[in-house]
A and B are shown apart, each in its own frame.
Chain A
Amino acid sequence: MPVWTHYFAHFVVTVIATIAFGITFQVPRRHYLAAGITGAVGWMVYIFGVELLGMSPAIATLVATLPLTGCARFFSITHKAPVTIFLLPGIFPLVPGAGIYYTAYYFLQGEQELFASKGGETFKVALALALGIALICSLPLPGGHEKIKRPSP
């Protein structure tokens, strides 16, 4: 398979999978596509980082969370909706599900070294995810949606 079709397929599948998560979280229909794109942006950056630039999963996750969270905030402003609507489904592709699985798997196989390294990596990925969200969510945005004016009593 040529390289671009591989990444194109990934993009499409991520959009669909993220929307699937959006459905289970009862995201209103008009936000489906935006949530899907948020998830796909994160995953594409992650997969580019890991496959093309040779980053470690944790670093790639951190790098991917930045545009992902930025994207979620952007959509929250353009759609006038809480940022959670895009962030919760969008973050899912980056949650270390594979890490949890392999950690459990190697634990059972009795491969102590692999177990420890997978466990550590899973933890690092989760931390990177947290750090990435923290970095972008803390930035004040000009004209952001959080500027709800309080009426004078």
Chain B
Amino acid sequence: MTEDLFDRALELVMDGGQTLLANGGEVFRVQQTMEIMAASLGVQDFHVYVLTNGIFASAHLPGGESVTLVRHVPTVSIHLGRVEAVNELSRELAAGKLGVVEAEQKLAAARALPRVTPRREVLACIAGAAGFAYLFGGTLADVPVAAVAGLLEALVCLHFGRHSINRMFTDIVAAFCCTVWAIAVQAVVPAVSANAAIIGALMVLTPGVALTMGVRDILNGDYLSGSIRLLDALLIAGSIAGGVVLGWIVARGLGVA
């Protein structure tokens, strides 16, 4: 393999791994996929170490020189469609169906997969909040309250995300908003139970992803990455609880609860 092609192959493997990690792939999947891609592309002596927010890899040039590459993946926003696409790409590479150039194109296409429009994302939040309010024992009166709480939450997350405000503060404010809103409605319409509505809306914020991925990372022996994610789950849960407490304190201060 010429040096130029080798560089491109290595770059491709790194980009593939980075795409997986940044879009919510598990650590072991990133590692495994990168190894498979490297082996398929004929990269010699490829070694890779993946953490929740970084990739470290080294390989040997055909001439015997060694190269090391590091990628920092500071923010993860879940896009499972991209994870699937990169997975598919690695499978096709392993089957020998693709060369470097086609694989580069496929990867570019995978990275360009669009997110759903913000409006749909907001709608999904509303549906989730309303649905869970019902599942957690809400009456039909509580469901619309939860839906509006979900809307508030989605808007907070959307706007804060745009200004890249950190996740903890976003969660606190979102939980705070939906708590205050539900209590306010309860004060005006006694038929509404604030609890069910708040819980429904909070389900959207709960750290299900961090918890699940943390467990899976630990199962696969990636204790460090797993602990980072579990700590993340704990912090998110704490932020939500903090937002709720603040909400109740404010509501009490205003004399509505």
Contact = CB atoms under 8 A, between A and B. Distances in A.
A82 B219 contact: no
- Chain B binding site: helix, strand, loop or mixed by DSSP? helix
Contact of B40 (A9, A92, A107, A151): A151
A98 B121 contact: no
A96 B237 CA distance: 10
A88 B212 contact: yes
Contact of A101 (B81, B83, B120, B198): B198
B241 A103 contact: yes
B216 A23 contact: no
A23 B124 contact: yes
B219 to A, nearest CB: 5
A24 B202 contact: no
A27 to B, nearest CB: 5
Contacts of B124: 20-21, 23-24
Interface of A: 9-10, 13-14, 16-17, 19-28, 43, 81-82, 84-85, 87-88, 91-93, 95-98, 100-101, 103-105, 107-108, 122, 126, 129-130, 133-134, 137-138, 148-151, 153
28 contacts: A19-B127, A20-B124, A20-B125, A21-B124, A23-B120, A26-B79, A85-B84, A88-B212, A88-B213, A93-B135, A97-B136, A97-B205, A100-B244, A101-B195, A101-B240, A101-B241, A104-B241, A104-B244, A104-B245, A108-B249, A126-B211, A129-B212, A129-B215, A130-B211, A133-B216, A137-B219, A150-B35, A150-B94
